[in-house]
Structure 1
């Protein structure tokens, strides 16, 4: 962590998220317990301290939006309003924003690329911080420099990526600079922060293969770094997943030199495979994790659910583990399809499907 960011974190106090990601569709028990009494369709009471928080955020030079539709910021294109919404471009502003939310005892949710989540139609109470802190650097002799400063004869390198870096943009930039490490991720929506929490992967590779360590901050403002072996990486999971008391700041990862033309060709090959296997249209990627020894898409297909529609959403006919919003779906439409798939697979195969996505906010 560079000196300026380190000092800023030492100066600042506490951060915490009052949101706990749901692990199943029992959203009433798991999603935003502090707001459990709120219901979609009722007049929403403004949380105490919201006006003060808005004013303090504005003094930081942050543009604050009220009742921002989160459907604009999720890959499923669904989600109700956030009480307050800010976009941050630096780790320093990220820390400021979440600290202020904690100071006013308001819920705070850090949003990345908006993939792999289903935001309820009732939206998210408190503050949503859209993390766009996306600096990338190369480590040379213990210091960090812009990627372009890496010597041409450097064959291996350690990179530092901030948590708000867009995964596809980061991957494509590395391809053009001749660094191999994220080529498989060049068409995967999301951010570095979300990718490391979920241990994103595709085509036999995953982020854990490259991670050296992950840097994060706890509610007391302490900076910590877990080496890869302490991150508890597994299939689409990590020790970071579901933690309310951690904010991911960035990661260090290993990359190797390759010819840009070689990497472009590999990217083109993987992109073609992705187009052939996955549906077009707004989705969140795979809805369920693959069960041990099987594939969620196969189980859903064998349950006869390919093409099944509820409202404006349907289970994809190309890949049954995708739910596509193709006709102005609501989050409730998608949630009902999720519940239908789980119940049908449980009945036909005796298998309990686990969500890969996370449920966030208020549902009907």
Structure 2
């Protein structure tokens, strides 16, 4: 009598996880992880695989593994500049929790300048707050910007007449072919809320960045940041949002154009064009990603119809979207 044993057929994701273990990648992994809790808009369906990278070695290891398996991973920072579809994300999401930083004071000028080194998963506003309390200026404009260091570099985050490009000394990048190199601002083609890294589908991944700081009075910095915070409280909504939806067109403001179209307060499902700032869409009550995308389409259509201007998205839609 021949006894046959059942053959276990591994799915592609099972094979990927086995390969990860073989490479010593032991970061926490969750399957079918809802993305809504990981995004500032509180929307988004499940990711097939959700990985937390706690060190740069693990971040590089997971990115390299995904590339070897012909996957395009999504590197997640604070989830504040993306719109995840209701269908979720097929493949792998890598949450970048690499947050180490170091302040290096220069001794050649009496300690009046310093370099801040930070890993790409570090909180940009957190760094701004900590350095300002110690009397270091250079990042105070970033207080209140819900971004990681990596996302700030990719999107050239900025506010209050400051931006990432103006503060950055250099960044360390994991290249498309697995090489690690340093890039100065002139190599990144910075522009208004963009760099050459934006939209490159993880071909290059920011690992760390260095920023230039200078001595200043901690009390003056605290006053300045309090003013910035009050301005945000007064002009921006407090409900779940993703920040500015559209980039400002040359010589104008997206919010002004949207408001001129009479769209402030317009609601679809649980999503609303903020009555406080027309370039913000807020999640008022259980909005879906489709609700938000419908408002985005409405805004684009109306602004083009009335002004002949095509608004360009500042946020990035990710995941599976139905083609219309």
Task: Give the structure-2-normalised TM-score.
Answer: 0.91
**Equivalent in 283, 293, 303 of residue 241 of structure 2:** 283
Please name the residue that 2:3 is paired with. Answer: none
Report if aligned partners of 2:60, 2:174 keep a CA contact under 8 Å in 1.
no
**Structure 2 counterpart of 1:316, from 252, 268, 274:** 274
Deviations 1:150-174 (A, max 9, x none): 9995110122111111112111111
Matched, 1:53 2:16: yes
Which residue number corresponds to residue 96 of structure 1? Answer: 61
Whichever of the two has the greater Rg, that structure is 2
User: What is the RMSD of the two structures over their aligned residues, measured on CA atoms?
Assistant: 1.8
Deviations 1:255-275 (A, max 9, x none): 011222221111111000111
Which range is displaced more, 331-340 or 107-116? 107-116
2:91 equivalent in structure 1: 126
SS of 2:78's partner is coil
More displaced stretch, 77-86 vs 171-180: 171-180
Q: 1:137 to 1:51 in 2, by over 3 A?
A: same
Note the residue ranges of structure 2 that are not aligned, 5 or more in a row.
1-9
Q: Equivalent residue for 1:112?
A: 77
SS state of the match for residue 245, structure 2?
A: coil
Distance, in Å, in 2 between the alignment partners of 1:298 and 1:140 is 43
CA distance in 1: counterparts of 2:219 and 2:17, whole angstroms? 48
Which residue matches 1:208? 165
Cα deviation digits, residues 278-328 of structure 1 (max 9, x gap): 111000000000011101001000101000000000001110000000110
Shift of 1:210: 0.8
Match of 1:263 among 221, 224, 227: 221
Alignment of 1:23-172 (within 5 A): 49-57=12-20, 59-139=24-104, 153-172=110-129
* Aligned-partner Cα distance in 1 for 2:181–2:257: 41
Contact between 2:266 and 2:272, CA under 8 Å: does it hold in 1? Answer: yes
Instruction: Give 1:18's aligned residue.
Output: none
Residue deviations 1:133-182 (CA, integer Å, cap 9, x gap): 111113468xxxxxxxx999511012211111111211111122221111
| Residues 174-226 of structure 1 deviation map (CA, whole Å, 9 limit, x = unaligned) | 12222111111111101010011110011111111111112101132211212
Structure 1 residue 111: deviation in Å? 0.6
Q: Distance in 2 between matches of 1:140 and 1:301?
A: 47
Paired position in structure 1 for 2:147: 190
- What is the alpha-carbon distance in structure 1 between the residues aligned to residue 281 and residue 222 of structure 2? 30
> Which residue among 207, 215, 227 is the counterpart of 1:249?
207
- State the partner residue of 2:299: 341
Q: Give the drift of 1:67.
A: 0.5
TM superposition score normalised by structure 1: 0.82
* 1:57/1:64 contact within 8 Å kept: no
Query: Is the Cα contact below 8 Å between 2:117 and 2:211 reproduced in 1?
Result: yes
* Structure 2: distance between partners of 1:260 and 1:355: 37
Question: In the comparison of the two structures, how many residue pairs are matched?
Answer: 310
User: Higher relative contact order at CA 8 Å, sep ≥6: structure 1 or structure 2?
Assistant: 1
8 Å CA contact retained: 2:271, 2:281: yes
Whether the aligned pair in 2 keeps the contact of 1:107 and 1:125 (CA below 8 Å) is no
* d(CA) in 1 for partners of 2:46, 2:224: 40
Closer/same/farther in 2, CA of residues 127 and 151 from structure 1, 3 Å limit: farther
Displacement, 1:54? 2.5
> Structure 1 CA distance, aligned partners of 2:185 and 2:65?
31
* Aligned counterpart, 1:233: 190
